[in-house]
Structure formats: C-alpha cells, structure tokens
C-alpha cells in the first residue's frame, strides 16, 4: 500500500513537472529515517533531491522544512548541507502552519544554491538533540522533516531573475528520538565492550557473531560465566554464525560499559560482527519507550565490521 501511494505521488509529480513546473523537490530514496539519541550532534534528519526542469540555471535562496510531530521540544542547530559543505544554518524553531502540526525551520542561503538546467542536486538536513536533563527533547518521539508547500522553497532564474514554479513532494522519513544508544567496540584483549550512552540505559536483545570456521563457542559475561549455562541467554547456531538471544535482555546502565568475551577452542578462528542487524537493542529507560521500539522492530546499531577476538585457548 505504501509503495503504491509513493508511486502515485511520483507519477503526479512527474506529470506536473512535465507541464512546466520548474523545480521538483522529492525525498532522496537513500534516506529511510533512523534513530537520533539525546545529546547527539549531527543527526541526519532529511535528504532531498531538487531537480531543475527549466531552460536556465536557477538559484535557491531559502528553504523551509517542517518537523511534523506532536512532540514537546525540538531539535537544535539545524544545518543544511550541499555535497558535505555547510550551505545554511536555521534559526530557532517556529510554530507550524494551522493546517499542519509541527515546527518550522528556516534556512536562508547567504550564497544561493545554483542548480544547473536539466540537472539535480541533493541537500541534507542535520541537527542536534538536546540532552535529557535540559527537557528539550521528548523520549520515544517521532519526527518527520518535510518540504510539502511550494512556498517553502524560494527559487529564481539565474538569467531571467524571475520567480520559478516549485512542486514539492518531500514527505520525509521517521526519525525517532531515544534517550539511549549502544556503542560496540573491541578491547585490545579481544573482549567486546558495550557502552550505553550517558543519557539512558540500553537493553541488549540479540548478538550474532560470524566465524571463519564454525566451532563450538562460549559467550562469557563480565564475571566469566557462560551466559547460556547461567540461563541468561539461548544460542542458535547456523552455518558459520552463532546468535545469542538474551532471555530477559542484558541491561547496560547509562554511561557504563559491559564486557562480553568469546571463549574459542582454536586460536586461529576469527570472529566478526558482520552487519548492523547483528546487534539489536532497545531503549531501557521506561516501559513506554521499550514498547514503542519493539512495536517497530528492534533498532539495530551500526557497528561496522569489528574483529572481536583472535582466539582464546581452552584449558
């Protein structure tokens, strides 16, 4: 249903574009939303494609985005980027229009953004989330940054200097604000270090590790105990991976680090976390936050590819 609605909007936009609309503003399909953690800076809030159908280059002098949300509190220090370069900074949030709930952020470009004729550019909006203690952000709130009114983009012809028409179909993607986040790294001794952000605790639900050669492996907690033998988790092996499911969740308190260690029978076995979904966790602040996260599926943490250990000989 969602794909059908998106296709309908795209066809409508294309039809309007073909009828002489100069600038078409749409969501960049590469951005699908995500999580913004309190007290984190530079969170990506929206990515948009601006396509110029005019017979001349055009200059964009201002852009307005709407944070469509019912949340109390707002993002701060919103910045508009073009090709990784700062193009404009927004002022303070303003109340949204009567016909649409939310908050408005205005960007005035001191150096106009030039979009060549019959070409397109991509702009990115990033912003900061206030710390929990400030009361400036609402836990588990959902935000969607939109450009949905032609008046939200000011564009003129570079040569004609006349105001150009705009078609806007940028409805944004959900960005969820949470108090907590999980950072995974590897200590020099080979132990996995799981750090919960200072703003709130994290509950680890699942951990998947990939091995170069399958081998029976134990996952040890901070006290050196096998998590399966202690009844803390169950393990499921599949080909060259093992997944540990934590029965009640492994809670990592705010601002602290918990260490987990693999116990391998062979020193030559290499273990890695291969992809973001190999580590899943939920916001451990309150029941409402956990339920909200779980309802949308666990939020994975982007951990990249880390070598967990070079092997530990079994006695």
The 3-state DSSP class for residue 87 equals: strand
Q: What pLDDT was estimated at residue 8?
A: 56
Q: Are 119 and 83 in contact (CB under 8 A)?
A: no
List, in order of start, the domains of the chain with CATH numbers: 2-178 (2.60.40), 182-309 (2.60.40)
pTM score of the predicted model:
0.71
**pLDDT tens for each residue of the chain, 315 residues long:** 545 555 555 555 555 444 455 899 999 999 999 888 888 899 999 999 999 999 999 999 999 999 999 887 779 999 999 988 999 999 889 988 766 789 999 999 999 999 999 999 999 999 999 888 788 888 888 999 999 999 999 999 999 999 999 999 999 999 988 888 788 887 776 778 888 877 778 888 899 888 877 667 889 888 889 999 999 999 998 888 899 999 988 998 988 999 898 887 665 667 788 877 788 888 777 544 443 344 334 444 444 444 444 333 222
């Amino acid at each position: 249903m969602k794909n059908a609605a998106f296709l309908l909007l795209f066809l409508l936009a294309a039809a309007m574009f073909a009828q002489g609309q100069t600038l078409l503003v749409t969501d960049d399909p590469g951005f699908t939303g995500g999580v913004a953690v309190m007290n984190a800076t530079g969170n990506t809030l929206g990515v948009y494609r601006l396509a110029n159908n005019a017979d001349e280059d055009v200059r964009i002098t201002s852009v307005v985005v709407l944070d469509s949300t019912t949340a109390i509190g707002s993002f701060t220090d919103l910045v508009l980027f073009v090709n990784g370069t700062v193009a404009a900074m927004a002022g303070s949030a303003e109340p949204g229009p009567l016909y649409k709930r939310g908050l408005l952020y205005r960007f005035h470009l001191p150096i106009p953004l030039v979009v060549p004729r019959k070409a397109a550019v991509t702009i990115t909006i990033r912003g900061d989330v206030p710390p929990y203690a400030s009361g400036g952000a609402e836990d588990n709130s959902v935000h969607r940054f939109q450009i949905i009114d032609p008046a939200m983009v000011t564009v003129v012809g570079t040569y004609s200097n006349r105001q150009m028409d705009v078609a806007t179909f940028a409805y944004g993607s959900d960005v969820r604000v949470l108090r907590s986040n999980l950072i995974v790294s590897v200590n020099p001794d080979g132990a996995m270090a799981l750090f919960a952000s200072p703003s709130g605790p994290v509950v680890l639900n699942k951990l998947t590790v990939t091995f170069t050669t399958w081998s029976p492996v134990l996952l040890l907690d901070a006290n050196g105990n096998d998590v399966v033998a202690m009844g803390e988790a169950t393990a499921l092996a599949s080909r060259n991976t093992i997944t540990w499911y934590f029965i009640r969740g492994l809670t990592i308190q705010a601002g602290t680090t918990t260490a987990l260690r693999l116990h391998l029978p062979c020193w030559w076995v290499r273990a890695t976390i291969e992809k973001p979904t190999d580590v899943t966790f939920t916001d451990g602040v309150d029941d409402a936050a956990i339920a909200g996260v779980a309802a949308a599926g666990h939020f994975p943490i982007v951990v990249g590819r880390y070598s967990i250990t070079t092997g530990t000989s079994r006695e």
